Amino acid sequence: MPFGRFKSGAASISDAVYLEVIGNLYGTTVPILIAGGCLAIVGAISVSATGDRLSAAPTIVGVVVAVVRLLGVLAFRTETRRRPLLDRAEAAVWEWRYAVGSVATALIIGLLAGRSLFVGDAICLVMAVGIAFGFSAGTVARLSLRPVVAILDFAAVGLPAVVASFMKASDVPHIALGVMFLVFIVAGVEMVRLSYDNTLNQMSLKRKFEQLARLDPMTGLLNRSVLATDLAEIIVERGSAMVAVHAIDLDHFKAANDRFGHPVGDALLRQVAARLSSLAGRSDLVIRMGGDEFILLQGAPQSRGDAEAMAQRIYEMVSAPYRVGDHEIVIGASIGIALSPDHGRTVEALLSRSDAALYRAKERRGGYVFAAEPARANGDRSRQRAA
């Protein structure tokens, strides 16, 4: 059994994929309802048809476990509606809770199937074994990315029937049934392995394509599509705290692009992207809007002064000379700054006001300007407060 492959694969699951997997575990109540309902029906029929009171115990416990698991799903949904899962450690707690309920259900079904071998009723045996096989088939589909839980489920649902079958060692059909259950357990684990590999590959590819869709292929920066999601989330998370949107336009880029050619222009844009990325902190985002327009989203400035200092650093960094091949190129920058919550609390408002401020900065031929304020010109005047 290739447990090593399970272990190495689990380590390769990113936090984002892992959080999605745990969310999917709690995404439906149907398997829990089916397992609990089938246990209640089969257990009630077994007790009624055979008078075997021992069959009543796993039936009652199974229904109670199903109710507790349903309450767990509702608790998870209530919790994640208020806020998403924060990290892997928190998700692991929810996974452990789900695993306990799933393995408990599997063990109860296995005990009922094992007990049915002793009650002497063929219909009850077929029904109990049918639940065991149905639950195991669901395990392959539902828990393929949590293989340890799946393997525990297979063991819990199959081994009681195996033990019960071999206890009737004088009965060849029962021995054959026990062997069949053992083969079934091994085959089930192999199916989990195959499903695990396929599902993990699919989810990894999905995440990869999602990330590629967020990137600008030329510069490797984020593209404008992230503004509707990431900027909106940052605004909500920060609440009344400040967020700064620096809208940046390169001055004289078109002239350089026309003079030296598009390959040089593309290389110049990549150098600008690298310089802006070097300025960004861990909570900041650098976005290429298209052409020679960029946004540096300052996620956690402590004050208006922090935002202004960032604008000054952007201006000085972007305006410094560039070396592209044999060419030394000097361009400038115009920067429009909008602050949340002062200049708006929505993505649309902040982008509109930073763009308007950028337009005023360009009218003054560079430098930076805050939304709804006079521009600060380039050169030494950029360090002086406008009258």
Contact 368, 307 (CB under 8 A): no
Give the pLDDT of residue 273: 95
Burial 336-375 (b: 16+ CB within 10 A, else e): bbbbbeebbeebebbbebbbbbbebbbebebbbbbbeeeb
* Cα distances (Å, whole numbers) of residue 76 to 27, 69, 93, 100, 351: 9, 11, 11, 15, 36
Helix (H, G, I), strand (E, B) or coil at 144: coil
* Residue 68 CB coordination number (10 Å): 14
* Residue 306 CB coordination number (10 Å): 14
Q: Which long-range contacts (CB under 8 A, 24 or more apart) does 67-74 make?
A: 67/36, 68/101, 69/32, 69/36, 69/98, 69/101, 69/102, 69/105, 70/29, 70/32, 70/33, 70/36, 72/26, 72/97, 72/98, 72/101, 73/26, 73/29, 73/32
Give the pLDDT of residue 108: 93
Give the pLDDT of residue 170: 65
How far is it, in rounded angstroms, from Cα 69 to Cα 211? Answer: 35
* Cα distances (Å, whole numbers) of residue 5 to 196, 276, 303: 10, 41, 50
- Collect the ranges in the chain with pLDDT lower than 70: 1-13, 86, 168-170, 373-387
